[in-house]
């Protein structure tokens, strides 16, 4: 029976060739992930990447199937589930498993398997895929587009090959365009290349002629829409392959009048919204059908509210939304708008009673990016000050001798907790305690590592930057070690941000900000994300964390830290869990009415000119309408059910409330509005003693527990005792190579790493055995050098028993032990220098008698190095 390699070469390869698959169409050993970055303390290793034995492509741009090969002696069935998993990862419709004789096919269109006498041909698979994808009618409606002009098959537009998940995203978007869908959404984590995906989609649609074929009389045009100049410019640069040196189809929209002669436009909402001297807005000067495709970047943030009129003006175009955040309560409108044409699927296939939702065209989460090894993994440090842990009572602060300043217009709270700090009450001593602690961490980790600190407001950001600058400026000689980057500081802030984001520039090292760089800023080298502000929005939290998620080959960054002083990391969740239930759209006849009165809550006087809107479903509003001179309003033809009414008026605090409407009846509601309160000053507390109350920095991956150092030591002690109840048991395990390696492997799987304990206990030179013995049994900690010296002093008789050449081997082994520990006392070490140059284990063993005798001497040497532990 042939092994797997021979089975491939002698049985499977000929069958693929016989079916018509050329070498160009077959990719062997297709590795499509990099392997997860695995942290052991601060050390990094890579997990195993995922590989398909064969990837079958119709052409370079269109993969269609995977083949999993098994040895001739194994049943073909043993590879089928593996092949299905690979196909699902890669978004493919066909999976094959074979032992060279039997060929099993799984078809994801029918969700069934069958045995085949041979592999299908490329043409057969393409025809099956095409007909099952409902694209036959689409091609018939677009005559003149032959197979080589199909956008799905059109080559990619750059030398950089898309990663597997980007290929799936590109394919899913183009399929929907070809099917005539006009609203499409991509949800892809920060750092996974949404703009690059958008470029490839546009390249294929334009270069294949698909978009132009909709209207042969004029060019096809695309608008890339963002809400920040930096995002617009990043996209403009990503689309540079369209500029061929002769023609420049790209154009940045920067003001009036509009340029109507290009093909690819890049703009921000604010510019398109700007009016000319006659009050006509820039977007209104473009014909409503001018664009075929509008790409909306960060659409969760910018597609609704004020800017919605821009999208409505270009409503006949295809709208492709891109977001880095999964569906949440706060972005339900975004998903409702862009996913309206998607088929409904169960929230949880195992529990259909939980309802349905319309998912985006493609999702790729932060967690999946980390699992695949394309995104940096992270370590969380959770830290609380004493005032965050216990809260702050002003009377207690006064008793401690602190000075408390209360503005006249402020009514103090009884207790202040984390969400109020630096918003309602400023406690500089708390900030100083955080900065002192952060400075200590930066000294420990490397004070020149790029760090972003998210603060409560601009004042807070400036204080943190000043304190960190005072801490590190003198010793680094950098006048801009730490800089505040806040929106009020305009061009200067932009230059500082560009310098901070540049991996090749050493300064600024720390950027403090209120929120400015939470999205759209690429800082691949950023090692530390620091929360000194409370965050309640999961969307904002994910955007901030995304600032650190990029891997940076230029600086060797493969992971980052999240240093959390405010409990923000409670918002971590699993992207792949079922999304939140969508808001239900009221059904039935729309025969209900609603009348109401808006009045001043304090005087009772009616409020004319108040704006009233009624939300009748996700992204479905009636209004706004204005109240009349008597403060009254009226809505008709509303659905019956629970509806949301939103009211605002100049000088008053806005309100949102729910009302119940009934079929064929008019409901009434009275809505009082309170005058908007001027934002009061902050209470200030000076001279308060604030220290760090607790710190959790260790993650037990199996359970997700966050542990403090003391908790991690207790946890590690118990894990050691589970496997070695006594010191004698631990020594016996340690001296046996196989048992020791199994023991350390089990501890690692439980997130117990001796090298991590050595780092946090400041005992990097300690022997791993001694660290574990100290932790579990209170034994003294010895360094490897101390054990080596004790061996030399105590074991002269052992050395004299050996020949001069054997003594040389033992002493060289002892030096290697000083550096690398007990693993250097294993036979494998003889393949390394200086033993390699002396002929390796076989030649050196003659000095001991033979290989067995040398092995006995190595075991005895280990026993003598750890001999004192028998006492």
Question: CA–CA separation, 175 vs 186, rounded Å?
Answer: 13
Cβ neighbours of residue 577 closer than 8 Å, sequence gap 6 or more: none
Mean pLDDT on 260-282: 91
pLDDT at 65 over 60: yes
pLDDT at 672 over 70: yes
Lowest mean pLDDT among 120-129, 523-532, 540-549, 739-748: 540-549
DSSP H or E segment with residue 438: helix 428-445
Confidence grade of residue 41 (pLDDT, cut at 50, 70, 90): low
Q: Judge contact between 294 and 318, C-beta under 8 A.
A: yes
Lowest mean pLDDT among 60-74, 242-256, 463-477, 812-826: 812-826
Mean pLDDT on 689-713: 68
pLDDT of residue 331: 58
pLDDT at 662 over 60: yes
pLDDT of residue 627: 93
pLDDT of residue 302: 52
pLDDT of residue 160: 86
Confidence grade of residue 490 (pLDDT, cut at 50, 70, 90): low
pLDDT in tens, 742-793: 998 888 778 788 877 776 676 767 888 999 999 899 888 888 888 899 898 8
Buried b (16+ CB within 10 A) or exposed e, 658-677: ebebeeeeebebebebeeee
Tokens 């509303």 belong to residue: 638
pLDDT of residue 486: 73
Between the alpha carbon of residue 149 and those of residues 154, 209, 215, the distances in Å are: 6, 7, 16
pLDDT of residue 137: 61
- Per the model's pLDDT, the better-predicted residue between 702 and 592 turns out to be 592
pLDDT at 870 over 60: no
pLDDT of residue 229: 83
Q: Which residues pair with 320 in a beta bridge?
A: 184, 295
pLDDT of residue 145: 44
Mean pLDDT on 566-589: 56
Lowest mean pLDDT among 501-505, 672-676, 784-788: 501-505
**pTM, two decimal places:** 0.70
Q: What are the start-end ranges of the E strands in 639-765?
A: 641-648, 655-661, 666-673, 683-686, 692-700, 705-708
pLDDT at 836 over 50: yes
**In this structure, what are the phi and psi dihedrals at residue 629, rounded to the nearest 5 degrees?**
-60, -20
In order, the DSSP letters of 267-324 are: EEHHHHH-B-TTS-BGGGGS-TTS-SEEEETTHHHHSSGGGHHHHHHTTTSEEEEEES
pLDDT in tens, 104-116: 999 999 999 999 9
Helix intervals (H) in 366-415? 366-372, 386-390, 394-399
Using alpha carbons only, how large is the chain's radius of gyration in Å?
33
Residues counted in the chain: 871
pLDDT of residue 445: 85
Cβ neighbours of residue 125 closer than 8 Å, sequence gap 6 or more: 56, 58, 64, 65, 94
Lowest mean pLDDT among 119-123, 396-400, 599-603: 396-400
How many other C-beta atoms can be found within 10 angstroms of the C-beta atom of residue 233? 14
Between the alpha carbon of residue 115 and those of residues 77, 92, 121, 148, the distances in Å are: 10, 19, 15, 32
Cβ neighbours of residue 652 closer than 8 Å, sequence gap 6 or more: 600, 607, 610, 673, 674, 675, 676
Cβ neighbours of residue 302 closer than 8 Å, sequence gap 6 or more: 225, 226, 227, 269, 296
CA angle 670, 676, 680 (to 5 degrees): 145
Question: CA–CA separation, 858 vs 813, rounded Å?
Answer: 9
pLDDT of residue 536: 76
Buried b (16+ CB within 10 A) or exposed e, 217-226: eeebbbbbbb
pLDDT in tens, 621-661: 777 789 999 999 999 988 888 888 889 888 888 888 888 88
Q: Is 556 left (phi over 0), alpha (psi -120 to 50) or beta?
A: left
pLDDT of residue 100: 93
Mean pLDDT on 193-218: 91
pLDDT in tens, 163-195: 999 999 999 999 999 988 999 999 998 888 999
Question: CA–CA separation, 461 vs 523, rounded Å?
Answer: 19
Q: Which residues pair with 45 in a beta bridge?
A: 38
pLDDT at 143 over 60: no
Confidence grade of residue 305 (pLDDT, cut at 50, 70, 90): low
pLDDT at 516 over 80: no
In order, the DSSP letters of 693-715 are: EEEEEEEETTTTEEEEHHHHHHH
pLDDT at 582 over 50: no
pLDDT of residue 303: 47
Question: CA–CA separation, 268 vs 232, rounded Å?
Answer: 7
What the block records as the tokens of 816 is: 């290697």
pLDDT in tens, 390-402: 889 998 888 888 8
Mean pLDDT on 246-266: 92
pLDDT at 464 over 80: yes
pLDDT at 585 over 50: no
Mean pLDDT across the chain: 85
pLDDT of residue 56: 97
pLDDT of residue 584: 43
pLDDT of residue 42: 66
End-to-end CA distance of the chain: 56
Question: Over pLDDT 90: what percentage of the chain?
Answer: 40
pLDDT at 680 over 70: no
Helix (DSSP H) and strand (DSSP E) numbers for the chain: 29, 35
Lowest mean pLDDT among 290-294, 365-369, 663-667: 365-369
Closest CA to 358 of 181, 117, 497, 573: 181
């Amino acid at each position: 029976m042939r092994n797997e390699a021979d089975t491939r070469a002698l049985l499977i390869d000929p069958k693929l060739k016989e079916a018509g698959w050329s070498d160009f169409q077959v990719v062997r050993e297709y590795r499509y992930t990099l392997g997860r970055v695995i942290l052991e303390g601060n050390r990094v290793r890579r997990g195993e990447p995922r590989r398909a034995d064969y990837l079958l492509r119709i052409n370079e741009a269109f993969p269609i199937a995977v083949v999993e090969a098994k040895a001739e002696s194994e049943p073909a069935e043993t590879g089928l589930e593996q092949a299905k998993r690979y196909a699902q990862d890669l978004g493919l419709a066909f999976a094959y498993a074979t032992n060279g004789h039997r060929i099993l096919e799984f078809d994801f269109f029918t969700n069934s398997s069958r045995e085949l006498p041979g592999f299908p041909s490329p043409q057969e698979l393409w025809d099956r895929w095409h007909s099952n994808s409902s694209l036959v009618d689409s091609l018939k409606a677009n005559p003149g587009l032959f197979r080589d002009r199909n956008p799905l098959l059109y080559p990619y537009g750059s030398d950089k090959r898309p990663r597997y998940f980007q290929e799936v995203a590109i394919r899913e978007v183009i399929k929907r365009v070809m099917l005539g869908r006009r609203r499409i959404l991509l949800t892809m984590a920060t750092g996974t290349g949404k703009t690059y995906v958008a470029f490839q989609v546009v390249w294929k649609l334009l270069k294949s002629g698909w978009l132009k074929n909709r209207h042969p009389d004029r060019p096809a045009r695309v608008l890339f829409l963002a809400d920040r100049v930096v995002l617009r410019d990043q996209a403009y640069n990503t689309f540079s392959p369209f500029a061929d040196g002769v023609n420049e189809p790209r154009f940045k929209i920067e003001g009036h009048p509009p340029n109507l002669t290009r093909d690819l436009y890049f703009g921000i909402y604010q510019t398109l919204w700007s009016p000319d001297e006659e009050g006509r807005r820039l977007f209104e000067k473009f014909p409503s059908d001018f664009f075929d495709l509008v790409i909306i970047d960060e659409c969760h943030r910018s597609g609704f509210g004020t800017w919605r009129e821009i999208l409505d003006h270009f409503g006949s175009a295809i709208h492709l939304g891109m977001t880095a955040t999964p569906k949440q309560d706060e972005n339900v409108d975004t998903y409702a708008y862009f996913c309206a044409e998607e088929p409904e699927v169960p929230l949880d296939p195992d529990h259909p009673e939980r309802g349905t939702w319309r998912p985006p065209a493609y999702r790729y989460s932060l967690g999946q990016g980390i699992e695949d090894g394309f995104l940096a993994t992270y370590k969380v440090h959770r830290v609380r000050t004493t005032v965050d842990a216990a809260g702050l009572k002003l009377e207690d602060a006064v008793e401690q001798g602190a000075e408390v300043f209360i503005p006249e217009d402020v009514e103090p709270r009884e207790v202040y907790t984390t969400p109020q700090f630096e918003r309602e009450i400023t406690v500089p001593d708390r900030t100083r305690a955080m900065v002192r602690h952060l400075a200590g961490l930066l000294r420990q980790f490397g004070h020149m590592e790029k760090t972003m600190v998210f603060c409560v407001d601009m004042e807070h950001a400036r204080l943190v930057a000043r304190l960190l600058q005072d801490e590190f400026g003198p010793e680094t000689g950098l006048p801009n070690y730490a800089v505040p980057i806040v929106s009020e500081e305009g061009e200067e802030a932009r230059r500082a941000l560009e310098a901070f984001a540049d991996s090749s520039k050493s300064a600024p090292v720390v950027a403090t900000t209120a929120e400015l760089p939470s999205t759209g800023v690429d800082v691949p080298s950023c090692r530390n994300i620091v929360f000194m502000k409370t965050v309640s929005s999961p969307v904002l939290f994910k955007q901030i964390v995304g600032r650190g998620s990029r891997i940076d080959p230029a600086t060797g960054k493969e992971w980052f830290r999240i240093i959390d002083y405010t409990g923000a990391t409670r918002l971590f969740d699993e992207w792949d869990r079922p999304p939140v239930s969508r808001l239900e759209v009221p059904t039935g006849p729309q025969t209900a009415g609603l009348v109401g009165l808006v009045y001043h809550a304090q005087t009772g006087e009616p409020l004319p000119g108040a704006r009233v809107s009624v939300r009748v479903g996700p992204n479905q509003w009636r209004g706004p309408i204005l109240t009349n001179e008597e403060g009254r309003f009226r809505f008709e033809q509303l659905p019956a059910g629970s509806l949301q009414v939103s009211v605002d008026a100049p000088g008053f605090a806005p309100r949102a409330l729910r009302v119940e409407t009934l079929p064929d009846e008019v409901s009434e509601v009275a809505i009082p509005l309170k005058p908007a309160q001027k934002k009061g000053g902050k209470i200030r507390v000076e001279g308060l003693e604030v220290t760090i109350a607790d710190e959790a920095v260790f993650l037990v991956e199996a359970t997700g527990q966050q542990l403090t150092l003391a908790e991690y030591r207790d946890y590690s002690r118990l894990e050691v005792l589970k496997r070695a109840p006594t010191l004698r048991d631990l020594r016996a395990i340690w001296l046996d190579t196989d048992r020791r390696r199994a023991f350390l492997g089990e501890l690692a799987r439980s997130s117990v790493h001796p090298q991590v304990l050595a780092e946090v206990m400041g005992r990097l030179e300690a022997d791993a055995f001694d660290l574990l013995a100290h932790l579990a049994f209170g034994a003294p900690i010895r360094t490897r050098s101390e054990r080596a010296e004790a061996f030399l002093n105590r074991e002269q008789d052992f050395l004299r028993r050996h020949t001069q050449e054997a003594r040389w081997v033992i002493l060289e082994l002892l030096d290697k032990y000083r550096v690398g520990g007990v693993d250097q006392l294993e036979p494998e070490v003889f393949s390394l220098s200086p033993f390699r140059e002396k002929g390796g284990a076989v030649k050196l063993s003659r000095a001991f008698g033979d290989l067995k005798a040398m092995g006995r001497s190595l075991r005895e040497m280990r026993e003598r190095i750890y001999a004192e532990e028998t006492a």
